[in-house]
Amino acid sequence: MPTDVSRGMVELFDDFLLTDNIDWNSSSDTGGTCAVVAAGTAHLSGRWRLVTDGTDDDMSEGPNSGLCFQVQDGGPLIVEHRLVIETGAVASVAINHGFNDDELDDSNTLPVELATVTFTSNAATFVGMVFDPDATNDDWHAFWVDDDTDSSSAIADLRFTGSTPTADEFVTLRTVLHDRGTGLGARGEFFIWDQNFSPAKFFNKVFSTSVDRDAVLCSYVSMENRAAVAHTVDVDYVYILAPRTETA
């Protein structure tokens, strides 16, 4: 449930342990598979399961219900997902995390895809991180698109070198947006914490993005099948910090 943390801010957290969870959008577009809240396993007490069927390019999406966040409303805008890819699926699923301008994207296509060294944006506005096994380097990459115009940053700068996820091990992703004022795109901070290593690996990049401060967004996580085999990605929790002044 929402909890005030300071004047003008609201904090949302869901670890999918209770039946009265926050209202997440669990529908699917044509060709996609619905995300579901599932019972616990040995390493997860509760999770939001992104699941594909055995169709190549099948997609499962996990946004919050409603486009309601704007950077210009004041304060930082934060979304964090802790997730795990099932054993054997790292080379077979692509993942998007961050903020998107659509709760459910067209058919079974991710907002952003990466093949070799070329990004393809299918969303008009998206900001966050992309993992795609079709890329030359199987690492996480920061990325954004605004008004159908992709980031112009070099892919080497966007890449989190050495961040390839490990199957059946948790990785935490956090995207933070800050308002830079009228006429300026949001400042984006991108964090990855991978606890599969000892000590854990921590990655951080900061960019002045082109994402409009008045873009209306939802929190977003999705996965797309890259092989004709059913796969799962389990989201352990979702954390959001946003200005209380929201766009309904």
pLDDT, tens digit, 9 for 90 and up, residues 142-201 = 999 999 999 999 999 999 999 999 888 899 999 999 999 999 999 999 999 987 765 778
pLDDT above 90: percentage of residues in the chain: 57
Report the DSSP pairing between strands 93-100 and 112-115: unpaired
pLDDT in tens, 14-46: 888 765 667 777 766 666 788 887 765 544 568
Choose the most confident range, by mean pLDDT, from 12-21, 64-73, 92-101, 226-235: 92-101
Q: What is the pLDDT of residue 6?
A: 44
pLDDT over 80 at 102, yes or no: yes
Phi, psi for 110 (deg, rounded to 5) = -60, 155
- pLDDT of 1 > 50? The answer is no
Chain CA centroid to CA 39, Å? 22
Cβ-Cβ contacts under 8 Å for 92 (sequence gap 6 or more): 133, 225, 226, 227, 229, 231
What does the DSSP 8-state code read for residue 157? H
Q: pLDDT digits over 141-153, tens only?
A: 999 999 999 999 9
CA dist 142 and 130 (Å) reads 6
| Contact assessment for residue 47 and residue 233, using Cβ atoms and an 8 Å cutoff | no
Residue with tokens 């209380």: 244
Q: What's the pLDDT score for residue 106? A: 65
User: Rounded to whole angstroms, how far apart are CA atoms 58 and 48?
Assistant: 17
Give the integer Cα–Cα distance in Å for 215 and 108.
23
pLDDT above 70 covers what percent of the chain?
Answer: 86
Q: How confident is the model at residue 65 (pLDDT cuts 50, 70, 90)?
A: confident
The C-alpha R_g of the chain, in whole angstroms, comes to: 17
- Contact indicator for 94, 131 with CB cutoff of 8 Å: yes
DSSP notation for 92-156? TEEEEEEEES-SS-STT--SEEEEBTEEEE-SSSEEEEEE-TTBSS-S-EEEEEETTEE--S-HH
pLDDT of residue 5: 42
SS3 182: coil
Q: Is the pTM of this model over 0.85?
A: yes
Whether the per-residue pLDDT at 92 is higher than 60: the answer is yes
Kindly state the average pLDDT of the residues 55-59.
87
pLDDT of residue 197: 63
The 3-class SS string of 38-101 reads EECCCCCCEEEEEECCCCCCCEEECCECCCCECHHHCCCEEEEEEEEECCCCCCCEEEEEEEEC
Q: What is the mean pLDDT of the chain?
A: 87
Sign of CA pseudo-dihedral 57, 62, 66, 70:
negative
pLDDT at position 95:
97
